Amino acid sequence: MGFSQLALLNAQLQDYSFDTIQIDFSACTWFDANMSAPLGVVLAHAVDKLNTVQFKELRPSVQSILSKNRFLAGFGLPRSLDTYGTTIPYRRFKTSDDQLFAEYLNSHLRGKELPKMTAALSEQFKNSILELFSNAAMHSETALGIFACGQYFPKKHRVDFSVADAGIGMRRKINKELGIKMNSDQAIRWALQEGHTTRKGKVPGGLGLKLIKEFIGMNKGCIQVVSDRGFWEFSAAGETLTRIDVGFPGTVINIEINTADTLRYRLRSE
């Protein structure tokens, strides 16, 4: 399931309340584990309207992914043992859980064969990911929480990690706080610029992706941001800014790290 399919699923669930919803996975042959975070956003909106969510026709391979990363456990299905320690488990956080999120990162990024970094850069890198959480907590106005999940693929030499919120999205937040109207893709472009913020006072701006983007550019990984109908991607192939057909109910940041990278990284100040 990609972002467009998740956004479409959200649109299809809009009219349900006080109901039992069965989601048919029969056409899904593969599910990227980190996409459990944005799927969690969609289903949180449905459950918030007092619906019961059930899954049908889960293929064994898909069920294995979603049970190992603990996603299905939230819907009453059993967990599977993560024998090889490749998952970054699905978690739902309150906006006040910044310390828990920091502990989650420290616990689950370890042992995922990330490229070599100096201790100082490693700390800064984790702080940049923490900033993604802090920005979501501060700007999204979500009452449903912030969702995270990831996966290490040893054979594909990559780590994927997603942070998603069930908030109002960048376009609506910018319009609400600053009175500026723009399309969803333009809102992402605006939020990516360092110094741009909807916060009042002298505070840092931007999404907090500066260091991550610099690293990903050298690492030949990938970053994706989705908010409402806006979609931005940065990779070795360049930058893409476009729109998806149906709005996603929140904001998602995906980070893909190339673990085949043999370079050693350090801060410019070191």
Provide the pLDDT for residue 111.
Answer: 80
Provide the pLDDT for residue 90.
Answer: 98
Other Cβ atoms less than 10 A from the Cβ of 130: the count is 17
Determine contact, residues 198/177, Cβ cutoff 8 Å: yes
> Into how many domains does the chain fold?
1
**Which residues have CB under 8 Å from 133's CB, separation 6+?**
93, 98, 101, 146, 148, 163
Residue 270 lies in a domain: no
Provide the pLDDT for residue 196.
Answer: 74
Provide the pLDDT for residue 48.
Answer: 97
User: Full-prediction pTM beyond 0.85?
Assistant: yes
CATH of the domain at 154: 3.30.565.10
Say which residue the tokens 């940065």 belong to: 234
Write out the two tokens for 113: 């064969």
Distances (CA, A) of 194 to 139, 185, 190, 203: 16, 17, 9, 11
Residues of the chain with pLDDT under 70: 1, 198-208
Residue 95 lies in a domain: yes
Query: By C-alpha distance, which of 221, 222, 215, 223 is closest to 264?
Result: 215
Question: Residue 195 burial by CB count (10 A; 0-12/13-18/19+): exposed, middle or buried?
Answer: exposed
Instruction: Put the strands of the sheet holding 222-235 in their side by side order.
Output: 87-93, 146-153, 158-165, 238-258, 222-235
Provide the pLDDT for residue 252.
Answer: 97
Beta-bridged to residue 52, according to DSSP, are 20
| Enclosing domain of residue 8 | 3-265
Residue 33 lies in a domain: yes
Other Cβ atoms less than 10 A from the Cβ of 167: the count is 24
Residue 218 lies in a domain: yes
Provide the pLDDT for residue 201.
Answer: 52
Helix (H, G, I), strand (E, B) or coil at 223: strand
Residue 58 lies in a domain: yes
Provide the pLDDT for residue 194.
Answer: 76
Provide the pLDDT for residue 206.
Answer: 57
